[in-house]
Chains A and B, each alone.
Chain A
Amino acid sequence: MSSTAQELIPPEAQEPGGGRIGRTRGGRVRRLTGRDKVVLSLMVGIPTLIELALVWLPTLMSIGLSFTRWNGLDLADIRPAGTENYQYITQDYPPFWPAVQHNLMWLLFLALIATPLGLLLAVLLDQNIRGSKIYQSIFFAPVMLSLALIGIIWQLFYQRDNGLLNFILGTAGTPQAVDWFGDSSVNIWAAMIAATWRHAGYVMLLYLAGLKGVDPSLREAASIDGANAYQTFFRVVFPAMRPINIVIVVITIIESLRAFDVVYVINRGTNGLEMLSALVIQNLVGEGQVIGVGSALAVVLLVISLVPIVFYLSRTFGKENRA
Chain B
Amino acid sequence: MSTTPARTVRTGRIQAASAQRTGSRPKRHYGMHIFLLVMAVMWLIPLGWSLYTALRPVASTNEHGYFSFAGDFNFDNFVQAWTQGGFATYFWNSVIITVPAVLLTLFLASLMAFAVSRVSWKFNVTLLIMFTAGNLLPPQVLAAPLFEMAKHFEVPYSFSDSGNMLNTYIIVIAVNTAFQMGFCTFVLSNYMKALSADLTEAALVDGAGIWRQYREIIMPLCRPAFAALGTLQVIFIYNDYFWPLIFIQSGNRLPITTAINNLQGEFLSNYNLLAAGAVITVIPTLVIYLLLQRQFVAGLTLGSSKG
**Chain A contacts to B: CB under 8 angstroms:** 1-10, 12-13, 15, 18-21, 23-25, 28-29, 31-33, 35-36, 39-40, 42-44, 46-48, 50-51, 53-59, 61-62, 65, 72, 75, 121, 124-125, 127-129, 131-149, 152-157, 159, 162, 164, 167, 172, 197, 201-202, 205-206, 209, 212, 216, 219-220, 223-224, 226, 228-229, 242-244, 246-247, 250-251, 254, 257-258, 260-261, 264-265, 276-277, 280-281, 284-285, 291, 294-295, 298-299, 301-302, 305, 308-309, 312-313, 315-317, 320-321
Contacts and interface: CB of A to CB of B under 8 A. Distances in A.
A220 to B, nearest CB: 6
B49 A149 contact: no
Interface string B190-204: 010111110101001
B145 A58 contact: yes
A308 B132 CA distance: 13
A247 B241 contact: no
B307 A156 contact: no
Interface string B228-245: 100000010011111001
Given A59-B142, A216-B10, A316-B307, A50 B177 contact: yes
B179 interface: yes
Given A57-B145, A258-B139, A28 B111 contact: no
B140 A298 contact: yes
Contacts of A139: 39-40, 43
B39 A146 contact: no
Interface of B: 1-3, 6-8, 10-11, 13-14, 17-18, 21-22, 29, 32-33, 35-36, 39-40, 43-47, 49-50, 53, 61, 66-67, 108-109, 111-112, 114-116, 119-121, 125, 127-134, 136-149, 151-152, 174-175, 177-179, 181-182, 185, 191, 193-197, 199, 201, 204, 209-211, 214, 221, 224-225, 228, 235, 238-242, 245-246, 257-258, 260-261, 264, 271, 274-275, 277-278, 281-282, 285-286, 288-289, 293-298, 300-307
A133 B1 contact: yes
Given A7-B298, A220-B14, A280 B144 contact: yes
A258 B132 CA distance: 17
A218 to B, nearest CB: 11
Given A1-B1, A51-B181, A6 B141 contact: no
Contact of A55 (B178, B195, B286, B302): B178
A155 B138 contact: no
The 5 residue pairs across chains A and B that have the minimum distance between CB atoms: A243-B307, A5-B305, A146-B239, A20-B197, A13-B194
- Chain B CB within 10 Å, residue with most, of A2, A131, A139, A153: A153
A119 to B, nearest CB: 13
A72 B148 contact: yes
A202 B300 contact: yes
Q: Is the interface of A mostly helix, strand, loop or mixed?
A: helix
Given A138-B40, A164-B67, A156 B278 contact: yes
A295 B66 CA distance: 45
Contact of B289 (A144, A152, A302): A144
A28 B205 CA distance: 11
A302 B138 contact: yes
A137 B109 CA distance: 30
B144 A149 contact: no
A46 B32 contact: no
